Amino acid sequence: MLAGEFARFLGIPLEHRMSQVQIANAVCDLLGKLGTTILAPEQEPASSALTLE
Please tell me the pTM assigned to this model.
Answer: 0.65
Mean pLDDT of 22-45: 86
Q: Which of 10, 1, 16, 2 is nearest to 30 (CA)?
A: 10
Q: What is the tens place of the pLDDT at every residue in 5-17?
A: 999 999 999 988 9
pLDDT at 19 over 80: yes
Q: Determine the Cα–Cα distance for residues 12 and 14; give it in Å rounded to an integer.
A: 6
